[in-house]
């Protein structure tokens, strides 16, 4: 987002209008885990009929907040990119400041979850800070990038060589975590890193919602990278 032109007041007002409708907001939140979903499922999430859902989805597409993936006769909707997800996360910050947990699921979501398709929460922030502190990750002018020493460390910790080699070719960005108020790794680098950890079995997706659950082996591997959490998982 560093090279993106500043949003005008009219564009900001249009985004605000798109988010102000509860049904559209429900659809966006349902897609904030990085999944792609059909219109019928999004209609059920929002509690509206098919025709109304179609109109809302068209507005979100036209407004640049959603993207459409066609597979044969099926059409799936997803967030346009992780910048849209980051915006949704940032908008949640004022509402959650100093807020007490509202459900038993909240601690799991705060500890580790998906932000679009990259790792967020306490675990995501701790990983980002450890990689930066050990000079495995560099904050460059074009964003965050993994250094060769970081790729070697990730390989030694248990990620596949092919995966860490791909990470060296990608750029990421610092994404402000809405629960921790600190940065985790976002952008293409964050997405690929999280995917590699899922493939390696370090993390698994919870049966519902956005929470990610680290395995015992995953915690040992992350610990070898210097990742420490204030509270146990």
- Phi, psi at residue 143, to the nearest 5°? 125, -160
What pLDDT does 2 receive? 41
**Each residue's pLDDT tens digit, 116-146:** 788 999 999 999 999 999 999 998 877 899 9
What pLDDT does 162 receive? 93
- Mean predicted confidence (pLDDT) in 86-99: 60
Give the model's confidence band at 179: pLDDT under 50 very low, under 70 low, under 90 confident, else very high.
confident
**Each residue's pLDDT tens digit, 1-53:** 344 455 677 777 888 888 889 999 999 988 877 778 899 999 999 999 999 99
Share of the chain above pLDDT 90, in %: 53
Predicted model pTM: 0.67
- Mean predicted confidence (pLDDT) in 191-207: 94
What pLDDT does 30 receive? 84
Look at residue 142 and give its three-state secondary structure: coil
| Ramachandran quadrant class, 135 (left: phi over 0; alpha: psi -120 to 50; beta: rest) | left
List 76's β-bridge partners, or say none: 38, 69
Alpha carbons within 13 A on the beta-carbon side of 225: 31
Look at residue 44 and give its three-state secondary structure: helix
């Amino acid at each position: 987002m560093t090279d993106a032109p500043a949003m005008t007041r009219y564009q900001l007002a249009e985004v605000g209008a798109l988010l102000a409708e509860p049904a559209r907001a429900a659809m966006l939140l349902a897609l904030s885990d990085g999944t792609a979903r059909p219109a019928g499922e999004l209609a059920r999430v929002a509690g509206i009929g098919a025709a109304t859902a179609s109109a809302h989805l068209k507005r979100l597409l036209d407004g640049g907040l959603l993207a459409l993936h066609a597979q044969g006769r099926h059409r799936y909707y997803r967030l346009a990119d992780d910048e849209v997800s980051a915006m949704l996360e940032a908008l949640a910050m004022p509402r959650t400041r100093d807020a007490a947990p509202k459900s038993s699921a909240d601690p799991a979501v705060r500890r580790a979850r998906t932000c679009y398709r990259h790792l967020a929460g306490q675990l995501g922030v701790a990983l980002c800070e450890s990689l930066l502190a050990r000079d495995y990750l560099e904050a460059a002018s074009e964003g965050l990038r993994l250094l060769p020493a970081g790729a070697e460390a990730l390989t030694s910790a248990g990620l596949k060589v092919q995966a860490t080699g791909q990470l060296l070719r990608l750029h990421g960005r610092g994404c402000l975590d809405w629960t921790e108020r600190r940065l985790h790794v976002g952008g293409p680098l964050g997405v690929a890193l999280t995917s590699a950890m899922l493939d390696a079995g370090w993390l698994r997706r919870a049966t519902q919602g956005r929470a990610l659950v680290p395995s015992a082996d995953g915690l040992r591997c992350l610990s070898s990278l210097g990742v420490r959490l204030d509270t146990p998982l």
